[in-house]
């Protein structure tokens, strides 16, 4: 698989009416597809009764795809349990804040339940033993969109209590850490800790959710260890990580898209037991197609292991809001590659005729016939076959890191910045501004940060932070780095206790500011733009104020500051405002960091990478229904798709939703 772009789909022959596997495989082959993922939610098919295993449909898929020269990814079916198993032990259903789940939906499992674990282990061992020696099985996806399922059952609360005892030793330290004296919540005996379902202490509940996330990561590790007893060394282990979903209010499954950091599992922690990172990425299309979600999802997933990754699920038609315009599917596909993907699998091959996701349409519509999206997939397949060797395993080397933290994310659920501004809104505000400027970045979990790789570090609303990390950030600037931090960064310690000195804690020297007041912006403007959600009233005691608030009463305060500190520079952005303001700050900061900023901006998106041939590639991704022309900025470059060569200064014409891959003739600098 190393030198082959993966192009395929999730395939559910067990959901299809009637037998048509040969026809499906023929159609896939015609489309240039080379991989299917199977089995990840079909426990009741694989083990219809306790102990009676039936892998026949898996065998048939493996045999027929092998015959066709295609590859298979095996999903373990643990995220949706069969009725007989729940009947055997109803405690398998997760007990959440809203009470015991009812059987029906997926992802409602108490991952700590022993009956579940026993049966899951049997299934995992059987399935791995049965498939690991199949030549065309290239890897395993363990579980699917793994999460903690809101588990608040007695097992996890017991384990959490053990964890607290071990961590804090005395109830006094525990009470003090989380401020439990407040509203009389403190305890003098560990046994008195009440059921957390009613707990209103945001710090303790954030700690508990961190513990829930670890439980989910541990569950993946447990699966990975079992699979590793069987799999070949050339077979990967991955999960299909699912991003936080932006809801837009349509009912049932037809609702929302991949938006930001996931709250219910820590991707970085989870990916420790994987050998390959993978995620699913869903996003608006038609006039709302911007490429931002593809880029964000790719940067997150690639950064997990600082390596290429797989887009395990992406949309073909999906639901009515996303029926792709002509050329959009192609644009999606190349955009994923441009971020460093090893390939994509559509979810799913066919549309499903019954059940919850009937209208989450696949590449084929319900009539299972060729249709416009299918014909466009055929074009992609053809193109990828041609370019596979060169585009597989692209190398990226970004000098900018955007830091994310799902502990802060949970804390904001308890202490929101604003009812209309979530943590992910801030992350995406800072990320999307980079994206629109054609500045590529890594998106790095705060716990995975290696400052030595970066010239610029950006912290959107990094609310909770340890003293140790603060010191690292301080040293980063002192040693020449550029730090850009937004409002609500560095407010609390790791237990969500607000620091009791003047903000920004530990970094007052670094930023050259202090602040102990903030306000709802009301009519405040900054640099001519309205301020929304929050305005921290910054006093730039040492820093340069880049902009004061435009307001009768708050005009003495700064909203954005810049400070030369040691060999570096620190920017603080104390308020939420128009992205254009943020981009102007970025420009200054990238100048400070000697990072060149392209004159081309979205909707002409540029992604750079080093090809497998060690050539410098520039993906030109045109997110617009208009035609557009731009001037070739490269000395000499050939478009790998059209095979046209451009010289510096040549006019390059972009059709609507166009893709070019410009390969520079000169070798890249190392």
Q: Is 222 in the site for a second copy (CB under 8 A)?
A: no
Q: Which is nearer to a second copy, 552 or 670 (CB)?
A: 552
**Is residue 60 near a second copy by the rule CB under 8 A?**
no
Q: Which of 183, 247, 596, 669 binds a second copy (CB under 8 A)?
A: 183
Q: Which of 173, 479, 520, 598 binds a second copy (CB under 8 A)?
A: 520
Examine residue 82 and tell whether it contacts a second copy (CB under 8 A): yes
Return the residue of 98, 419, 649, 670 that touches a second copy, per CB under 8 A. Answer: 419
Residue 222, Cα to own-chain centre: how many angstroms? Answer: 22
Residues 307 to 346 in contact with a second copy, rule: CB under 8 A: 317, 320-321, 323, 325-326
* 166, 552, 651, 669: residue in contact with a second copy (rule CB under 8 A): 552
Find all residues with CB under 8 Å of 595, minimum gap 6, and list them: 399, 400, 439, 455, 456
Query: Quick check: 219 and 227 in contact, CB under 8 A?
Result: no
Member of 141, 201, 295, 383 binding a second copy (CB under 8 A): 201
250 binds a second copy (CB under 8 A): yes
Within 267-306, the residues that bind a second copy by CB under 8 A are 286-287
Residue with Cβ nearer a second copy (12 or 236):
12
Write out the H or E segment, with its range, that includes residue 100.
strand 99-100
Q: Does 522 bind a second copy (CB under 8 A)?
A: yes
The stretch among 236-244, 290-298, 348-356, 468-476 that binds a second copy (CB under 8 A) is 348-356
The 8-class DSSP code of residue 418 comes to B
Q: Specify which residues 223 forms β-bridges with.
A: none
Residue 501, interface with a second copy (CB under 8 A)? Answer: yes
Distance of closest approach, residue 36 Cβ to a second copy, in angstroms: 17
Q: 66, 218, 306, 418: which one contacts a second copy (CB under 8 A)? A: 418
Taking the complex as a whole, the smallest distance from the CB of residue 355 to a second copy amounts, in Å, to: 4
Residues 3-42 as x/- pattern, contact with a second copy by CB under 8 A:
---------x-xxxxx----------------------xx
244 binds a second copy (CB under 8 A): no
496 sits near a second copy (criterion: CB under 8 A): yes
In this structure, the number of other CB atoms found within 10 A of the CB of residue 401 comes to 24
Binding mask 616-635 for a second copy (x = CB under 8 A): ---------x----------
- Interface size with a second copy, residues (CB under 8 A): 108
> Please, which residue, 269 or 536, has the CB nearer to a second copy?
536
Residue 542 contacts a second copy per CB under 8 A: no
Asked if 400 is part of the footprint of a second copy (rule: CB under 8 A), the reply reads no
Within residues 557-616, the interface with a second copy by CB under 8 A covers none
Residue 2 near a second copy by CB under 8 A: no
**Under rule CB under 8 A, residue 189 binds a second copy:** yes
DSSP for 605-633, written as a single string:
EEEEEE-TTS-EEEEEEE--SS-EEEE--
Q: Is 368 in the site for a second copy (CB under 8 A)?
A: yes
Helix H, strand E, coil C: the string for 66-92 is HHHCCEEEEECCCCCCCHHHHHHCHHH
- Of 90 and 528, nearer to a second copy (C-beta) is 90
Number of H helices, E strands in the chain: 17, 32
Within 433-492, the residues that bind a second copy by CB under 8 A are: none
Q: What burial class does residue 497 get, using C-beta atoms within 10 Å of its C-beta: 0-12 exposed, 13-18 middle, 19+ buried?
A: middle
Binding range to a second copy, per CB under 8 A, among 199-207, 294-302, 306-314, 584-592: 199-207
Separation between Cα atoms, residue 177 and residue 204, nearest integer Å:
9
Q: How far is the CB of 519 from a second copy (least distance, A)?
A: 4
Task: Compute CA 411 distance to the chain's CA centroid, rounded to the nearest angstrom.
Answer: 19
Q: Are 145 and 169 in contact (CB under 8 A)?
A: no
Strand 651-654, strand 659-664: pairing: unpaired
Location of structure tokens 């071990």:
166
How is residue 566 written in tokens? 């040691």
Query: Least distance in Å: CB of 460 to a second copy?
Result: 19
The answer to whether 83 and 45 have CB atoms below 8 angstroms apart is no
> What is 448-499 written as a DSSP string?
G--GGG-SEEEESS--B--HHHHHHHHHHHHTT-EEEEETT-S-B-TTSPBP
Taking CB under 8 A as the rule, does residue 252 contact a second copy?
A: yes
Burial 535-566 (b: 16+ CB within 10 A, else e): bbbbbbebbeebbbbbbeebeebbbbbbbebb
**How far is it, in rounded angstroms, from Cα 460 to Cα 441?**
14
Kindly state whether residue 367 participates in binding a second copy, applying the rule CB under 8 A: yes
Is residue 125 within 8 Å of 140, Cβ to Cβ?
A: no
Site for a second copy contains 105 (CB under 8 A): yes
Contact flag: residue 365 with a second copy (CB under 8 A): yes
């Amino acid at each position: 698989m190393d030198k082959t772009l993966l192009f395929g789909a999730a395939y559910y022959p067990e959901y299809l009416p009637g037998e048509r596997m040969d026809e499906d495989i023929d159609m896939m082959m015609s489309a240039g597809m080379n991989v299917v993922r199977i089995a990840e939610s079909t426990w009741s098919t694989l083990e219809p009764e306790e102990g009676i295993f039936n892998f026949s449909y898996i065998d048939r898929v493996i045999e027929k795809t092998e015959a066709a020269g295609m590859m298979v990814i095996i999903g373990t079916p643990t995220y949706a349990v069969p009725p007989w198993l729940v009947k055997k032990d109803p405690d398998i259903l997760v007990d959440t804040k809203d009470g015991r789940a009812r059987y029906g939906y997926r992802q409602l499992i108490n991952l700590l339940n022993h009956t579940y674990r026993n049966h899951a282990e049997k299934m995992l061992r059987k399935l791995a033993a049965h498939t690991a020696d199949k030549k065309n099985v290239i890897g395993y996806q363990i579980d699917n969109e793994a999460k903690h399922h809101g588990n608040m059952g007695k097992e996890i609360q017991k384990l959490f209590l053990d964890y607290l005892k071990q961590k804090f030793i005395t109830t006094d330290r525990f009470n003090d850490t989380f401020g439990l004296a407040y509203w009389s919540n403190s305890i003098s005996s560990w046994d008195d800790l009440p059921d957390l379902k009613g707990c209103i202490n945001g710090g303790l509940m954030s700690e508990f959710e961190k513990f829930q996330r670890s439980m989910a990561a541990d569950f993946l590790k447990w699966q990975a260890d079992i699979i590793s007893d069987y799999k070949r060394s050339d077979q990967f282990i991955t999960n299909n990580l699912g991003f936080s979903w932006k809801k837009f209010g349509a009912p049932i499954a037809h609702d929302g898209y991949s938006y930001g950091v996931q709250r219910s599992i820590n991707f970085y922690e989870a990916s420790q037991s994987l050998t390959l990172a993978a995620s699913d990425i869903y996003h608006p299309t038609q006039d709302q197609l911007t490429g931002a979600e593809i880029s964000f999802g790719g940067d997150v997933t690639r950064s997990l292991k600082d390596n290429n990754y797989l887009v395990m699920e992406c949309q073909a038609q999906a639901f009515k809001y996303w029926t792709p315009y002509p050329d959009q599917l192609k644009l999606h596909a190349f955009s994923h590659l441009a971020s460093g993907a090893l390939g994509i699998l559509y979810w799913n091959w066919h549309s499903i005729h019954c059940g919850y996701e009937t209208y989450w349409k696949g590449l084929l519509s319900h009539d299972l016939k060729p249709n416009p999206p299918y014909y466009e997939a055929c074009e992609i397949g053809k193109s990828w076959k041609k370019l596979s060797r060169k585009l597989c395993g692209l190398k990226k080397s970004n000098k900018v890191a955007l830091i994310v933290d799902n502990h802060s994310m949970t804390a904001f659920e308890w202490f929101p910045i604003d009812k209309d501004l979530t943590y992910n809104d801030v992350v995406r505000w800072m990320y999307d501004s980079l994206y629109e400027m054609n500045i590529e970045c890594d998106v790095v979990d705060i716990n995975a940060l290696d400052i030595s790789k970066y010239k610029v570090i950006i912290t959107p609303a990094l609310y909770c932070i340890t003293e140790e990390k603060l010191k690292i950030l301080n040293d980063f600037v002192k040693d020449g780095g550029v730090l850009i931090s937004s409002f609500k960064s560095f407010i609390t310690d790791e237990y969500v206790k607000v620091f009791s000195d003047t903000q920004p804690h530990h970094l007052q020297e670094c930023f050259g500011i202090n602040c102990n007041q903030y306000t709802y912006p009301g009519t405040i403007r900054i640099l001519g733009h309205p301020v929304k959600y929050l305005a921290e009233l910054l006093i730039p005691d040492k820093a340069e104020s880049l902009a004061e608030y435009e307001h009768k009463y708050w005009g003495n305060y700064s909203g954005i500051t810049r400070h030369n500190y040691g060999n570096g520079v620190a920017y603080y952005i104390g308020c939420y405002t128009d992205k254009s303001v943020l981009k102007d700050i970025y420009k200054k900061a990238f100048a400070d960091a000697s990072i060149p900023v392209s004159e081309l901006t979205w909707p002409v998106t540029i992604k750079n990478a080093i090809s497998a041939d060690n050539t410098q590639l520039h993906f030109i991704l045109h997110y617009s229904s208009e035609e557009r022309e731009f001037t070739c900025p490269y000395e000499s470059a050939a478009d790998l798709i059209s095979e046209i060569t451009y010289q510096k200064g040549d006019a390059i014409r972009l059709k609507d939703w166009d893709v070019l891959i410009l390969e520079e003739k000169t070798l890249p600098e190392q």
